[in-house]
Amino acid sequence: MLKNDEYYIKRCFKLAQKGIGKVSPNPLVGAVIVENNKIISESFHKKYGEYHAERNAINKLPENYDFSNSTIYINLEPCTHHGKTPPCCDLIIKKKFKRVVFAMKDPNPLVAGKSIEKLKKNNIQYDFGVLEYQAKYLNRFFIKHIQSKLPYLTIKVAQSINGKIASYNYKSKWLSNELSRKDVHSNRSKYDAILVGTNTVLKDKPSLNVRLTKGRNPKRIILDRNLSLNPDDIYNESNLSDTILISSIKNKNSLKLEEIKNKVNVILVDESDDKLNLKSAFEKIGELGINSIYIESGSKLSSNLLENNLIDEIIIYQTPKFLGKGISLFDEYEIDNPNVINEFYLHKFKRFDDDVKLIYTKINYSE
């Protein structure tokens, strides 16, 4: 069967996903080398700072291998600049590939379309834009960070059939089933950090780690504007070096802050109307190389994020339970102009027994 470009780009996607949790802040990249409708080598970017997918795939073949009849497929434009590793585009040209196919241009201004110029100059055939929107969703964390210096923000929530995340007295727990909770832990491992607000820490005492599946523990980010948390509320895990506390600049001379600063990384930001400047906070977090944040928060923080147009994705685990009177995720969300509506697109849904996982994104990746 003659396989087309989409087939091999899809294979690149699968390979690229093997790097989840290992390559950030770099993008996820897979590479497939094809000759006479047959895959002769393939690989992926395995770890931050190590060789990229293209070089790994090429290095699997003999040094003197003739690539003049080969096509290399990549889900992202091959790099043209020297970073921690040499540029992949130069290697592809050196090996004299017949054709190069990649899914999307690299949003990094150091690369952005420059490989096309090099390939054209060296008479190498090229095509790009194959399954472009799928490629953009795969590397949405990298794209957001490279373009805005901000991390990609995803809010996760489990809610009842009538849209409540908790009972009015916050005594309800585990709205979602075991399969959904396992999926949540899998999601945590894919993000650089997990964020919660003060109320979530006080009410739930969350560990904020990965337990129900294999994967790395994300860094922990806690928003505590007034330093209302006790040290034991924050230092409930051994990974203190991976804990970040965000608080108000007004606390800069607090003795309690000095105690906290000796144990965890502290970011201070200004505030207005009794609310932290969240964009400033995320700009500072982005400077730390954190590309993505998984947010498990209550209504107050979620509403604040939505008001400031900072949310990129919402994951809802819709359960068949009915809570009656209770708390909704965006109960405190307010807009001055009723004609302004935050719009999200349904990207994907999946069933976990009687729970349904719904993924909504700010950008339509289905075009």
30 DSSP assignment = E
- The Cβ of residue 16 has, within 10 Å, a number of other Cβ atoms equal to 25
Catalytic residue among 35, 42, 50, 54: 54
Nearest to 153 by CA among 95, 211, 221, 90: 221
The token pair that represents 141 in the structure block: 């964390």
The token pair that represents 45 in the structure block: 């970017």
**Helices and strands in the chain, H and E counts:** 12, 18
All residues at 6 or more sequence positions from 260 whose CB lies less than 8 Å from its CB, including other chains = 227, 231, 234, 245, 266
The answer to whether residues 74 and 54 touch, using CB atoms and an 8 Å cutoff, is: yes
Q: Give the pairing type, strands 326-327 and 275-276.
A: unpaired
How far apart are alpha carbons 88 and 90 in whole angstroms?
Answer: 5
Is 54 among the residues known to form the active site?
yes
The answer to whether residues 42 and 18 touch, using CB atoms and an 8 Å cutoff, is: no
How far apart are alpha carbons 250 and 237 in whole angstroms?
Answer: 27
Element (H, E) at 283: helix 278-287
The token pair that represents 173 in the structure block: 């727990």
Nearest to 293 by CA among 196, 180, 226, 365: 196
How far apart are alpha carbons 232 and 238 in whole angstroms?
Answer: 12
The answer to whether residues 350 and 356 touch, using CB atoms and an 8 Å cutoff, is: yes
| 3-state secondary structure (DSSP) of residue 210 | coil
Catalytic residues: 54
